[in-house]
Amino acid sequence: MTGAGVSAESGVPTFRGQGGLWQGRRAEDVATPQAFQRDPEGVWEFYNYRREKLLACKPNAGHAAIAALEAVFDDWTLITQNVDGLHRQAGSRNIVELHGNIWTTRCTACCQEFDHFGDKLSRRPTCNDCGGLLRPGVVWFGEMLPPDALAAAQDAVGRCQAILVVGTSSVVEPAASMAGWARAHGALVVEINLERTPLSEQADECLFGKAGEILPRLVSALKARKSDPSQ
């Protein structure tokens, strides 16, 4: 399960902290259904700015290592809170995007979803099929998580043998509770982060440092063990 810390190493600003995307803005003004209803052009201006900045960001060694892990295990699920799409660009396939994807749009009239990776959108984009107003395909504050994504995440967490929690503050629910759910079902919990979080006390192992440095070493060790179980 990954959070903003993984993508921060690619130059993607986190929302919180110095230089974060919320700096100078209130979340209520750009990331709620009420804000979009009140000022769709202003919300789209913010998201188009984010999309433009993301085009310059590329997957880092952490993303690549996570994609490589998918090939190591017979049953592997990546649950991410990130909306930047960098995991997909890195080659990960079995992904649960809890908070949606910034490159998709959803029609507010007919509910169809569209992939707009790399496309330059207007400040008021409309659906090609019905003409309805499009909205960013992300989960805003005050909205429920997509039911299918939440169910897939809960299924993976409930039956996993181990969960790696990488680059997340472990404060945003329900993602923050998932490692605890996995542990309650007997899973090994490993946290990889720059600093301690509320999860650190519950984790079986805490590895502090950059995901882009720790994860490649983990991949190498797991591949070596798979090829030679005596290691």
| Catalytic residue annotation | 99
Render the burial of 199-214: b for 16+ CB within 10 Å, e for the rest: beeebeebbeebbbeb
Distance in angstroms (rounded) separating the CA atoms of residues 60 and 117: 19
Distance in angstroms (rounded) separating the CA atoms of residues 147 and 145: 6
In this structure, the dihedral spanned by the alpha carbons of residues 196, 198, 200 and 204, taken in order and rounded to 10 degrees, is: -160
Q: Please, what sign has the CA dihedral across residues 193, 73, 186, 96? A: positive
Contact indicator for 126, 132 with CB cutoff of 8 Å: yes
